[in-house]
Structure 1
Amino acid sequence: MSAVAVTGLGVVAPHGDDHGRLFAALVRGDSALEPVFPELPKAAVAARVAFDESRWFTKLQLAGVDRVSQLAVAAADLAMRDAGAIGELDPERLGVFAGCGMGGAAALEAAYRGGGRVPPLTIPAFMPSAPASHVAMRQRVQGPVLTYSVACASSSVAIAEAAKAVQRGDVDLAIAGGSEALVVPGVVLAWQAMQTLAGVRAGEEATAIRPFASDRSGFALGEGAAFLVLESAERARRRGARVYAELAGWGLSCDATHLTKPDAAGQARALRQALRQAGLQPRDIGYCNAHGTATRIGDVVERDALAEVWGGDLDRLRVSATKALHGHLLGAAGALEAVVTVLALQRRELPPSMHCETIDPACSLNLVTPGNSAAPELQAAISNSFAFGGTNSVLLFSRA
């Protein structure tokens, strides 16, 4: 089967809508976390997007379009522009593969808090498949338009499924990624009730998320969207496209043990699948963009899964968790972190794992530290997405 090339990248993220500037900010260690909703009983931080919807929509077009779909339309459009002139393409040979964990939270919040008046377009605004549909309408996609709602693995799974469709020849070009916009009071309260969000001390909001640190206390929500344009390497060569990287392998597995507690054996299965498909050994992988949610249990389990697969080569694998800077985008996390991983490969530069002053001995990993970002020999990298529900998705990228 033909190799799958990444030929376009588009982001609308807490660090902006220019993927080059996003990556530079992450390498510098710039945090986008800030306090949100001071009216809530418990302090919270999140990473929000400064988004000007008028760049993408008229006022008439915005009717019934939740923020989650607005971000998706913008990021997908930026990815298609970045891919350049894609040539003559039958719209039936173009597909959208999108991840969205929870759908239009703003529309749902407005309905609940509307004092009895529910906007008539609430249902199409909050349905999780709305972002993919809006992308399809904007890009005139008449092939498969599919939504994957698999919690924190949603957009990573969507990218893997898009790659399969490209390899099988079901589509000539796929717009693959995800979107999430959950920074509303009701959702923050729900996550706080689960005791998974980080504790926040006044004046330390920007450094509240500390993956793998001994004093970590959880994650913070982020919002945004990210999409990749995928096509066969052969097609990319024919049209003279810039190829950022190749999606060489992917692994999908389910823990099948617990709805919220992760399982190292399940994660290891996904890691091995990705390596096997790419025909690579653990020692061939130079970088891992970790799921790294900074939860007490999750970080240890992810480290144990990496150790199970990498064995004696674990110290050679450089690891960072960029959620410390852009927050946890839930359904869009896998797509944003895939973009970061692709750029790390292309530039042979790694974003650091921030805010970890003392690593937890149970999370012993070769973390990328600030000021130590160079990776001149990097040839292959992975991006991990491990979700509630037990779904594990690993994307493996190699240099073009």
Structure 2
Amino acid sequence: MEKRRVVITGMGAVTPLGHTVSETWEAARAGVCGVAPITLYDASSQKVSLAAEVKNFDPTKVLDKKEVRRMDRFSQFAMYAAAEAMADSGLDLEREDTARIGVCVSSGVGGMQTFQNSCEVGESRGFDKVSPFFIPMIIANLAAGRIAIRYGLHGMCTCPVTACAGGSNAVGDAFHYIRDGYADAMVSGGAEATITSLAIGGFTSMSALTTAADPKRASIPFDKERSGFVMGEGAGILVLEELEHAKARGAKIYGEIVGYGTNCDAHHITAPDPTGTWPAACIQQALSDAGIAPEQVDYVNAHGTSTPLNDSGETAALKKVFGDHAGKLMVSSTKSMTGHMLGAGGAVEAIFSLLALKDGFVPATINYQVPDPACDLDIVPNQGREADIKYAISDSLGFGGHNACLVFHKWEG
């Protein structure tokens, strides 16, 4: 049986670069750095002083004040981005079978700020005094659940929790669900909000975060002086739709998703396999799913976290898959601008990949200064590049050894 084709008809984003897809993409094209001193709490007593925050965020543009009080920041981001994506898609839900539309939205951590605040309340006033909304505010699936409730979507509603691979797994799982005939459209993506003193402290104690004080030398993927990632936050939401369903209603189409791979290193709870063996197998799985040869790929939106092990291991993985073609690939890490948005990262990077294909523009790896022989690819350093690209892939690798890869194709009607 011929596989159903799946396209992207709506996108929404709230990121350290902007509160919409257009604001975020304009900033990424310009090479804007979203990393700055932490303002969400007093970080003066901690080693890490920088993060990539969503600036001047006002959730009441989408949610009423009561809803805001009953949602953690990660859910607010998800709802905000979903509102943009749903409006952008043009879906008329009055005319749709809502049992054929579902939600697949990831969060790696869930409601961290609510968790921290509620622990403080419990310690000071007694744990029976915590908010009755404590549990619904912290559990990671509630971003997906709230989106389904808001729009009355009765199809599958789920939340892949695969750490930093979560956003990509959500988009990939939604893609296969539509392609295999279980849904006509899916709202997919990821949301995260972990810039809190507790979360930053936890990531610091495991030596995952950079302690650099200069925003221009903090999130520096593939640079020899990289020393850890910078925490980011936000959400990316995409509306995926079966092609004939989209065409029948005259929807605009951003691009086509054609392949998805996912597997596990089964190596270590936090460290990636330095040989890149299983990320390479994941990429190959995605290319096979898409039915394309490695030589057809033009651009890789890399996981590129700015950690010593990830960037060298990811380079090794790309060389295993692409061989001589690896030297011809454009490989950039937009985390140099957004920081690492954990469960939202893969979704936002899917948006970047689609817009790179649509606009013929590859965003840069900014703030790159010191070459590393272990990361000797064309990482599009410092300046974005006009390029007519047909296929792009987006890699995501998560704690626990989770790997995910998405393959996108330029929409040419």
TM class, shorter-length: over 0.9
Alpha-carbon distance in 1 for matches of 2:208, 2:383: 30
Which residue matches 1:32?
Answer: 34
Q: Relative to structure 2, which stretch is displaced further, 112-121 or 71-80?
A: 112-121
Say what the alpha-carbon RMSD is for the aligned residues: 1.2
Which residue matches 1:67?
Answer: 73
Q: Which residues of structure 2 form unaligned runs of 5+?
A: none
Alpha-carbon distance in 1 for matches of 2:410, 2:224: 34
Alpha-carbon offset, residue 176 of structure 1: 0.5
Which residue matches 1:391?
Answer: 402
Q: Which residues of structure 1 form unaligned runs of 5+?
A: none
Verify the 8 A CA contact 1:152 1:331 in the aligned structure 2.
yes
The amino acid across from 1:283 in the alignment is E
SS in 2 for 1:319: strand
Matches of residues 119-130 of structure 1 in structure 2 within 5 Å?
119-130=131-142
TM-score normalized with structure 1 length = 0.97
Alpha-carbon distance in 2 for matches of 1:193, 1:106: 18
SS in 2 for 1:333: helix
Verify the 8 A CA contact 1:94 1:174 in the aligned structure 2.
yes
The amino acid across from 1:29 in the alignment is G
- Give the length in aligned residue pairs: 397
Alpha-carbon offset, residue 200 of structure 1: 1.5
Verify the 8 A CA contact 1:77 1:139 in the aligned structure 2.
no
Which residue matches 1:106?
Answer: 113
The amino acid across from 2:299 in the alignment is Y
Compared with structure 1, are the counterparts of its residues 30 and 290 closer, same or farther at alpha carbon in structure 2 (3 Å cutoff)? same
Alpha-carbon offset, residue 86 of structure 1: 4.2
Verify the 8 A CA contact 2:18 2:27 in the aligned structure 1.
no
The amino acid across from 2:33 in the alignment is S
Matches of residues 251-290 of structure 1 in structure 2 within 5 Å?
251-263=261-273, 264-290=276-302
Alpha-carbon distance in 2 for matches of 1:22, 1:370: 17
Verify the 8 A CA contact 1:35 1:43 in the aligned structure 2.
no
Matches of residues 14-25 of structure 1 in structure 2 within 5 Å?
14-25=16-27
SS in 2 for 1:60: helix
Verify the 8 A CA contact 2:29 2:384 in the aligned structure 1.
no
SS in 2 for 1:397: strand
Q: Are 1:222 and 2:222 an aligned pair? A: no
Q: Are 1:80 and 2:86 an aligned pair? A: yes
Displaced runs of 4 or more, over 3 A: none
Alpha-carbon offset, residue 153 of structure 1: 0.6
Alpha-carbon offset, residue 205 of structure 1: 2.1
Among 344, 349, 363, the residue aligned to 1:337: 349
Verify the 8 A CA contact 1:289 1:321 in the aligned structure 2.
yes
Matches of residues 52-201 of structure 1 in structure 2 within 5 Å?
52-86=58-92, 88-114=95-121, 115-116=124-125, 117-201=129-213
Q: Relative to structure 2, which stretch is displaced further, 23-32 or 78-87?
A: 78-87
Alpha-carbon distance in 1 for matches of 2:271, 2:208: 12
Verify the 8 A CA contact 1:86 1:239 in the aligned structure 2.
no
Which residue matches 1:358?
Answer: 370
Which residue matches 1:6?
Answer: 8
Verify the 8 A CA contact 2:4 2:181 in the aligned structure 1.
no
Which residue matches 2:391?
Answer: 380
Alpha-carbon offset, residue 390 of structure 1: 0.6
Alpha-carbon distance in 1 for matches of 2:254, 2:24: 16
Verify the 8 A CA contact 2:46 2:201 in the aligned structure 1.
no
Alpha-carbon offset, residue 138 of structure 1: 1.0
Q: Are 1:209 and 2:219 an aligned pair? A: yes
SS in 1 for 2:385: coil
**Per-residue displacement from partner, 1:308-343 (whole Å, max 9, x unpaired)?**
000011111101001111111101110011101110
Matches of residues 234-253 of structure 1 in structure 2 within 5 Å?
234-253=244-263
Alpha-carbon distance in 2 for matches of 1:249, 1:272: 10
Alpha-carbon distance in 2 for matches of 1:93, 1:315: 43
Verify the 8 A CA contact 1:31 1:207 in the aligned structure 2.
no
Alpha-carbon distance in 2 for matches of 1:41, 1:370: 30
Verify the 8 A CA contact 1:209 1:216 in the aligned structure 2.
yes
Verify the 8 A CA contact 1:303 1:365 in the aligned structure 2.
yes
Alpha-carbon distance in 1 for matches of 2:135, 2:19: 28
Identity across aligned pairs (percent)?
36
**Per-residue displacement from partner, 1:41-71 (whole Å, max 9, x unpaired)?**
3132111113111112222223421111111
TM-score normalized with structure 2 length = 0.94
Alpha-carbon offset, residue 223 of structure 1: 0.7
Which residue matches 2:51?
Answer: 46
